[in-house]
Structures are given as structure tokens and as C-alpha cells.
Chains A and B, each alone.
Chain A
């Protein structure tokens, strides 16, 4: 009996084999068919269909459809007509960075103050300590070109840029004097210093003061204003097999541009006869200015040019050189740049930090000059901190063996807190400049001194803002 239907089917038309039969698209959901799962069917009611027999009629349906069509047409019509005003962009690309980094050196609303000029004759004179000086106008432009002024300092609030000469300033000034004397006597003297202190203690300002005196004494000033740009991984870098370091050609070209702007009159008169390796060729440049220009024009050879410039300035008959770097702590650790194996590159393997540190630790020397670095408040660099103190790390500490030798032999200049007399001098200056509105009395001086803990940046903030 069971075989009967099969046998009957054999008599009919030939059928496709079972495997080739397409699967039904829709599974039957009627009660007769078994459900695929044991879970209940969807709770939502199916969309209601207009049933002419249950109230709804065809005429109504047509009316609804027409209405819908009309409304949809209307909607489309509206969408077409509505003109969406193109919103002005809040900032253009890179505009914020420009605003953030703009250096303002004058406030025209501030009252004019007559201050003595920070002349080169006053460098290193202990009598000038605890006095506020005006930075001479001829130097201001050069300092601006070389980015000696930083944002967040006091410059935008006064009519003219001024600065307090402190004990540390005279120490640096005395060194500049000594190098100038060596230049006259045709002896050699290359000083190496590291400015250290807490946040806001005036290291960067001290660097600016050193540069101001150096510019006036006709030195060549090379400055790396913020070493963060080198180690952040935002600048282009590549490995140079000739120098065996990672070179940052675009940054170096920009650095050469700054050197050109600040030192052009001096470099123009410095003749050169030595051939230098530029790319794959050797070239001789008539003057050092032309050498620098070659690096600015073609950034692919900028590192070669920078090294050639340093080599030229290390020759015996060259003017003294001030080689400065701010934020030494940032190049005393691994950088954010990665090598081909995706390992972090040590900052000492980057071209510019490498050459700077070789002058800072005395591996290389200018015949006459000053190599000076300022530490940074952050990040924490325990190796550098210990090396600055002259201490050795503990036996179980994770240490970076390269840090201590990199600053070996450089003397540390501590930027100490202000003395009470200096607080008063600064407050007098702030009063004259329209910053501080109260009376400068025993109490107010003592109050500001206590609140700022002798920190110049905090003192300025307190005088500017505390009495609002």
C-alpha cells in the first residue's frame, strides 16, 4: 500500500530530481504546517487591510491613496524648494593653531613705562640684579623670528616687552661676557649649561635673555624653541644611512628658515671655502647665508645643510655660537616616532636632538660659544632628574642608560624662587604697567610672595587676576 503512490507517479511526466528543486521562498505559516521554532509568533498585529465588506470601501481607499500621493508630492516639493543656508565654518583648517600660537608683544591700552634698555654692556653686571629692563627693539624682531617668546607668558599685557634680570641672568650674562673676551683674546671657550627649575620658574625667559644678549654681541643664535615638535611624531622623519640617524627634513628646513631670518646680516659676511656633502654631490657655497638658503629651498637636503652649517660654525675663525634648546626633558626619553618594526625610536636617534646633545655633553665643541638647554615641567623623566642631581639610579630601577651620558659635564643652573625684594620690584612694574591695581605695601608684597611661593609665573597670575 505504501508503494502505491510512488508507482503511480512513475506513470506521469518526468520530474526534476529532488536536489535541483528550488526551495520555497515563503514558509507556510498556516496552522496545519509545523512551526520552525517553538517560540511564539510575533506579537505585533499584521497591518490592517481595508476590507470592503467590513466598513472600508474602495472609494475611500482610493481617496486615501490620492491623499498620500499628494502629501508625498508636497513633501518632495518642499524639500526641493527649501534652500539650506551653507553654514560658515567655525575655523578654517589650521586657523586655530595659528590663533593659539600667535605671539602678541604689545598691548596698546597699557600705559607706557620708561625702562632702561637691556644693553649688552649690562650683561653679567651684578648691580643690574633685581631690575626690570626693556628688551631693545632691534632684538625683539630677531627673538620673535627665532621663537624665543612663548604663549602664556606676560608679553601681551604690557606696552613693550620687559623682563626682570635675576641672579641666574647675571650668571648667564657673565658667561656671555667671558666668551666675548675669549673672542678678543683669540682663545677657545665653550660653555655648557642646563637651566632647571619648577614649572613657571622662568627658564624659558632666561633663555630669551641669553639670546637677547647674544644677538647684541653679534653671535650666531641657533634655537630649537620647543623640542616637542621633534618627538611628537607629527613631523616627517626618515632614516638617513649617511648620518645613521632619523632625520626630520621638513622641520630642519623650517629651522634653517628661522636661522636665516634671525642671523642673516651676520651669516652674509661669513665666507666659506670648504666643500660640503649635499645629497649625493659635493658643493661649495660662497657664504654661510647661501648655504642656509640651499637648505631652505630644497628640504630634501636640509639635514645635510644643517650639519654643514654646524661644521662651518665649529671652525676656528667663526663668531661665537649660542645653541639653545627648550624642553630638554622631552628629548630625554623615547619619542612617539616609530621605526619600521613599529618600535618607538629613542629621541637621541633623531637627527637634531642627536647633534644638540653632542654639543651639550662636550663630544663636539664650538671654539667659542654657549650650548644651553632648559628642562620641561612635564613629562616626568626620572633618569634626567637623577642625572641633573648627579645621582645614580637604584639597582632595581628601570633606567635608560643613554640619558646620563647625554648631559655629562653640563653644569646645572637652578632657577630658584624669587626673593621678596624681587617680588616687590615685579609688583612695582606691574603697578606701573596697569596690571596690579592695589597698593604695593608690606602686606601686599608679603601676601603675593606667600601665595605665589616666589614663582614668577604664579606671581604674575596672582597680580593680574586675584583682585578681580
Chain B
């Protein structure tokens, strides 16, 4: 069967809805996981229903539905370790991994809900940390941990989004000025009150953390705004038959999407009546985007509406296999 002609039925686009929610703070690339000094994972979960594998209970519920037994509680999932402890039969049939105690944490942190203050307190053991590290024999300085992380390179030490926004704000090649504007923007985002949840529906990107926690991570704040308002495609108009113009939606890559979003945001910021400095205007517009007030949303909706209307114009090459989209927010 040939693939569907419409772009919106592509598997890659359908995946967005079914993707589990990932809290971006956990995917931050600058947390040093391999370091020996990093804190060990806590032995007990903070909440009882932290397991990322809810299938056990769901499966048991389905079986119980067939056999007519009492279903397990589905509202609050039962951790597997508790189930094994409860039942002797389960203990017998359990895989050996679960029987032998291991130092691995017994739950997944993938869906750990984040509260604003979590992870900000200093762990206790660093207070007693010695600052002199024993060197390996023959080494003059401590050896680096390999592989060197992606942002460990001097030229690529900032987040790609940060670099793109800075370069977008730059005029006449004055990068240092653009960087100081960027600094100002981020410090405004850090110190202004947290954005309010909009009353109207604002399609913020899935994976957005609670809005109250955004000011504590200004770059994530910026990223949430830009990636949420970024259009998925642009409209190319081509001369069609009979002199008519055909609107053809064309997908954009992540950099192109962000650029479109930035153009709209800056245009909306420049239209504001009280003309303050660039940093203030831009930061205010970022807050407006997250709160759903920005004019950038109208532009995005317009592009998407046109794309849906003209979806029949898309020509899909059936022989080409598109790669599965494995990107998760926040992309880096």
C-alpha cells in the first residue's frame, strides 16, 4: 500500500501525540552523570507511584477483567517490588534480576514530577569533599573524563539555541553587544514574575515544565517560548496551471522553525507602543508568548491553517523512507 498523500498522516508526525512526557530538566546535558563525586540516586522514591512501567498493573487489570478476579488499583500504580513482596508465587516466578538486591535504583526517574525547588539544594556530601584529587601515576593534571561532552568544546560551549538567538539579535557584526543584550534578556526572564497560565488554549510544546518553575531556568523559558510558537512548515507558492498559484506546504528543520519564530517574536516586540530597550521588549514578548498573548501565535496559526488547506498539493515520494523522529524537547 502506498503511503498516504497527506503529510499529516505520516508516522513521524503522529508520534508527537503518543510520545510520553519528558521533563526537560532531567535531560539537561550539563549535569555530570559520570562524575565519581555526583550524588548516588536515592534508595527510595519520593512518591509511591514513580515507576515508569505502569504496564504491570495494566496487564494485571486486563487479565483480572477476563478471569473475573479483582482488578489491581489503576489510579495509583503498584510498584513491582511491593507486588513481589506481597505474593509468594510472584516471588518464585520473578526474574533473577529482581530477586537479587542490586545497587541500582528500583524505579525510573523518567516521569518524576518536578516541583520548583527540587534539585536546587546542595547535596550534603560535598561539604566534606576534599579539594585535592589524587593524580594517576605519571599525570601532571587530572585526566579528563572521556568521551568529552558535546558542549566541552570551546567553540560549541553554548547551547545551539542560545547561539542562534544571539546571532539573530546581532547587528553589524557586533557579537559582544548581542551577547550583552542576551544576558540582559535572560536576567529579566530570571527575575520577572513567573508567567501565568493563559485562559485561552495555548499549545505550548509538550514537555513544558510547570510555568512557575520557568524563571529558575531562563534558557528553558526562552526555548519553551520559541519552540512552542515555531511553525512546523512554511508555505511555498508555485505557479500552477492556468496562472493560479499553488500553495505547497514544506517542512522546516529545527533551525529554520526557530528562525521563523524569532522573526515573528521580534516583529511583535517592535510593534509595542512603549518603546523600551531591545532586551526589555524581547523579554516581554517571550513572556507574552508563554502566556498566549503574543501576535506571533496568530502568524503561526495562519501558516498552519494554510498548510492544512493546501495539504493536497504536497507530493510525497513513496520510494523515500523518512527517518523516525526521535527528537525530544528540549532539543539541543
Contact = CB atoms under 8 A, between A and B. Distances in A.
B217 A442 contact: no
Nearest to A449: B131
Contacts of A466: 157
B216 interface: yes
B190 A109 contact: yes
Contact of B191 (A109, A437, A445, A468): A109
Interface in A300-357: none
B276 interface: yes
Contacts of A110: 216
A111 interface: yes
Nearest to A438: B30
Interface string A146-172: 000000000011000000000000000
Contacts of B133: 442
A444 B131 CA distance: 11
Given A107-B190, A107-B191, A157-B190, A441 B35 contact: yes
B210 interface: no
A443 B142 CA distance: 9
B122 interface: yes
Nearest to A110: B216
Interface string A420-438: 1100100010011110011
Nearest to B133: A442
B142 A440 contact: no
Interface residues of B, number: 41
B88 interface: no
Contacts of A139: none
Nearest to B39: A439
B28 interface: yes
A433 B120 CA distance: 7
A443 B35 contact: yes
A183 to B, nearest CB: 38
A157 B191 contact: yes
B40 to A, nearest CB: 12
Contacts of A107: 190-191
Q: Which of B31, B120, B194, B215 has the most CB of A within 10 A?
A: B120
Nearest to A430: B122
A111 B122 contact: no
Given A88-B274, A109-B194, A443 B122 contact: no
A428 B275 contact: no
A439 B38 contact: yes
B30 A441 contact: no
5 contacts: A431-B121, A431-B122, A437-B31, A440-B126, A468-B158
Closest 3 pairs (CB-CB, A-B): A109-B215, A441-B37, A428-B122
